[in-house]
Homo-oligomer: A and B are copies of this chain.
Amino acid sequence: MNDTPLLDYAPLAAALQRFADERDWQRFHTPRNLMLALTGEVGELAEIFQWKSDAECARLADDPAAWMHLNEELADVLLYLVRLAGVLGVDLDHAVRDKLAKNALKYPAPPAR
């Protein structure tokens, strides 16, 4: 496994923990609740793409309201994912480095030509 960190999200995890603490939301943040909330946000993200062609998806940045909406939904998925990993005690940097190492073995790159 690669030893170089690929992801530093400690400030984000801490901000989410503080946000939950200040509102006494820890009691709601069980793994199963957060999994359902993550599913909800993934659904909202999917709705952005559902009736669009690839070309229309590539032009989302041209419409300020659509672009802001896209940014918000991507953020929401990430926020719940980081929170879910946090309450489970999973280190996402470690997890992605491990997974990428496995993927590299599973899907070897063809030799450069």
Q: Are A90 and B110 in contact (CB under 8 A)?
A: no
Give the number of chain A interface residues (Cβ < 8 Å).
Answer: 70
A89 is contacted by which of B51, B61, B98 (Cβ under 8 Å)? B61
Instruction: State the majority secondary structure of interface residues on A.
Output: helix
Q: Are A57 and B37 in contact (CB under 8 A)?
A: no
Q: Which A residues between 91 and 112 are near B, CB-CB below 8 angstroms?
A: 92, 94-96, 98-100, 102-104, 107, 109-110, 112
Q: Which A residues between 31 and 46 are near B, CB-CB below 8 angstroms?
A: 31-33, 35-46
Given contacts A31-B49, A46-B40, A50-B33, contact A92 B78 (CB under 8 A): yes
Q: Which A residues between 5 and 40 are near B, CB-CB below 8 angstroms?
A: 5-9, 11-12, 15-16, 19, 22-24, 28, 30-33, 35-40
